[in-house]
């Protein structure tokens, strides 16, 4: 009988990796070439479609699409530019080969998409093109859960993706600051959708600075007044992550700079929902650090965010004047539940008291949002356009009772998984626990934001699933490589 061949690290100059959880060990030579076919997106000869570089490249595409909307010459192609990012996500879903990893949220999101697809047969479904466009957009938003996890993402690629998002959003908040300091000089053309709301609405998006100049709420690198607040949110949250994870002086300086500019941009933008979401995220991040016993990181976060928050608010009031002070003081004019009810809460109440009883099985597709505006047929009196001010209303329209069950469960599962990563002690070199803490905070804030606007019907929803899938894939990939070769 033939004796078994000795194998293992250090023997025959091979190391062994497991390319996917539960897969068999695979021999890899000292030079890094596999001696057996490679599973998932790491297989040889796949080119760019098998490379983890697709993730930061896709984020770059999202950024380019956003910047393209600021070019007046592209205005006639606005619809195509908006659809491009969603279309590319669907193309990658079809072209990226391999086996997707099963993110804990995936079964619930697929169930929600299946329920939405059944709405094509709902008698309330509007124009066929609008219905297909809405279904395609929702599939594109969730698609990163499938195609991103087919790629072998390493921690460096994950950090590069986050850095790209951080720098773009910090730049957006910074441009917003310049738009207030130099009125009209750095400001893009106002969105046609905003202009179409009428002069009174447009005027409400302006405020008078301490110098007596009337300006729009800073747009940043968007064409919507107040858009700089979104850049500020990402700049503060991701800046906090880089500040706590990096040991390089330059990275820490850039992180603090992004936090300062981001907070200042949020204050000047006067978008209270974004500020509340950021507070929820930072409290969640601090709580996870404290519960996990990372007291030093907790104190560092508390010191930086507390000092920056107070300093930038004083700075914003000095620049924006009474308009900024009075706007933010409304958050403390009454109890939190009263403030929410007077601003967005009645939409939530109306969703469960009126909309859900009227559409328990869904209202059909293509009757609300941008898909209805671009592709809908609003001359049909039997299927009039609907309005969804918050995500929960949109979930009712798209699936009725089951719609408000499965998709929120998927979001909650992603929140629970991120919390588990944040509490773990695995992989201290790559500090997955820290980015798990940041992602947990972000996921909690995103869930809170579903009570303020349709978060998962926009590009921000696609970024949500992209970040969750990227961290899930990076952590799974790190666990497949033998510790002595990490």
Q: Give the pLDDT confidence of 228-283 residue by residue, as tens digits.
A: 998 999 899 999 988 888 778 888 899 999 999 999 999 999 888 888 888 888 98
Share of the chain above pLDDT 70, in %: 86
| Segment 8-22 mean pLDDT | 49
Going by their DSSP bridges, the two strands 214-216 and 206-208 should be labelled as antiparallel
Residue range 397-428, pLDDT digits in tens: 999 999 999 999 999 999 999 999 988 865 54
Residue 481: what pLDDT?
57
Helices 272-291, 322-329: inter-axial angle, 10-degree rounding? 60
Mean model confidence pLDDT for the chain: 83
Beta bridge partners of 29: 14
Give the mean model confidence (pLDDT) for residues 149-168. Answer: 89
Assess whether pLDDT exceeds 80 at residue 301.
Answer: yes
Tell whether the model's pLDDT for residue 16 goes beyond 60. no
Contact 56, 161 (CB under 8 A): yes
Confidence of residue 18 (pLDDT cuts 50, 70, 90): low
Q: Is the model's pLDDT at 30 over the cut of 60?
A: no
The tens digit of pLDDT for each residue in 73-91 reads 787 787 888 889 899 999 9
- For residue range 438-464, list pLDDT tens digits in order: 898 889 888 988 988 889 988 889 999
Question: Considering only 26-35, 173-182, 274-283, 311-320, which range has the smallest mean pLDDT?
Answer: 26-35
Which of 36-50, 376-390, 428-442 tops mean pLDDT? 376-390
Give the tokens for residue 107.
């079964």
pLDDT at residue 95 greater than cutoff 90? yes
Q: What Å distances lie between residue 390 and 67, 84, 164, 425, CA to CA?
A: 26, 24, 29, 37
Contacts of 92 (CB under 8 A, 6+ apart): 49, 54, 58, 143, 147
**Distances, alpha carbon 70 to alpha carbons 194, 215, 296, in Å:** 14, 18, 43
Q: What is the pLDDT of residue 428?
A: 46
pTM of the model: 0.83
Of 338-352, 361-375, 392-406, which range is least confident?
338-352
Q: What is the pLDDT of residue 31?
A: 44
In sequence order, the 6+-apart residues with CB closer than 8 A to the CB of 360 are 400, 401
Q: Which is more confident, 387 or 407?
A: 407
CA 386 to CA 355: how far, in whole Å? 10
Tokens describing residue 196: 């179409």
Listed ranges 9-13, 28-32, 55-59, 328-332; the one with the highest mean pLDDT: 55-59
- Pairing of the two strands 26-29 and 206-208: unpaired
């Amino acid at each position: 009988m033939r004796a078994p061949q000795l194998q293992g690290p250090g023997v025959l100059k091979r190391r062994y990796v497991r390319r996917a959880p539960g897969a068999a060990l695979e021999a890899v030579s000292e030079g890094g070439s596999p001696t057996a076919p490679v599973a998932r997106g790491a297989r040889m000869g796949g080119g760019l479609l098998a490379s983890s570089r697709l993730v930061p490249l896709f984020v770059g595409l999202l950024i380019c699409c956003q910047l393209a909307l600021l070019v007046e010459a592209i205005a006639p192609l606005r619809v195509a530019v908006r659809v491009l990012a969603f279309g590319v996500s669907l193309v990658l879903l079809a072209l990226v080969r391999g086996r997707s990893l099963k993110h804990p949220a995936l079964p619930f999101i697929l169930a929600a998409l299946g329920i939405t697809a059944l709405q094509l047969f709902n008698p309330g479904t509007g124009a066929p093109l609008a219905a297909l466009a809405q279904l395609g957009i929702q599939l594109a938003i969730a698609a990163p859960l499938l195609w991103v996890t087919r790629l072998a993402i390493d921690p460096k690629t994950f950090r590069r993706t986050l850095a790209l998002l951080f720098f773009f959003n910090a730049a957006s908040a910074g441009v917003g600051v310049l738009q207030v300091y130099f009125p009209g000089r750095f400001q893009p053309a106002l969105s046609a959708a905003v202009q179409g709301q009428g002069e009174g609405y447009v005027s409400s998006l302006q405020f008078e600075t301490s110098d007596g100049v009337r300006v729009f709420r800073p747009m940043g690198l968007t064409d919507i007044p107040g858009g700089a607040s979104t850049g500020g949110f990402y700049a503060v949250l991701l800046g906090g992550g880089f500040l706590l994870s990096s040991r390089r002086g330059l990275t820490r300086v850039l992180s603090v700079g992004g936090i300062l500019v981001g907070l200042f941009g949020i204050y000047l933008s006067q978008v209270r929902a974004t500020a509340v979401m950021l507070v929820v995220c930072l409290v969640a991040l601090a709580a996870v650090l404290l519960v996990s016993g990372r007291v030093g990181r907790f104190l560092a976060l508390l010191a930086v965010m507390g000092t920056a928050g107070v300093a930038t608010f004083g700075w914003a009031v000095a620049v924006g004047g009474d308009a900024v002070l009075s706007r933010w003081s409304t958050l403390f004019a009454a109890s939190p539940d009263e403030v929410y009810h007077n601003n967005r809460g009645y939409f939530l109440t109306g969703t469960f008291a009126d909309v859900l009883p009227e559409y328990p099985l869904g209202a059909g597709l293509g009757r609300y949002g941008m898909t209805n505006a671009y592709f809908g047929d609003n001359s049909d009196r039997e299927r009039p356009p609907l309005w969804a001010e918050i995500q929960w209303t949109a979930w009712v329209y798209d699936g009725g009772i089951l719609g408000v069950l499965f998709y929120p469960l998927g979001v909650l599962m992603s929140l629970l998984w991120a919390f588990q990563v944040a509490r773990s002690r695995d992989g201290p070199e790559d500090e997955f626990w820290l980015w798990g803490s940041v992602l947990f905070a972000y996921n909690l804030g995103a869930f809170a934001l579903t009570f303020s606007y349709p978060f998962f019907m926009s590009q921000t929803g696609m970024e949500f699933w992209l970040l969750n899938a990227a961290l899930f894939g990076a952590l799974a990939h790190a666990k497949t490589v033998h510790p002595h070769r990490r």
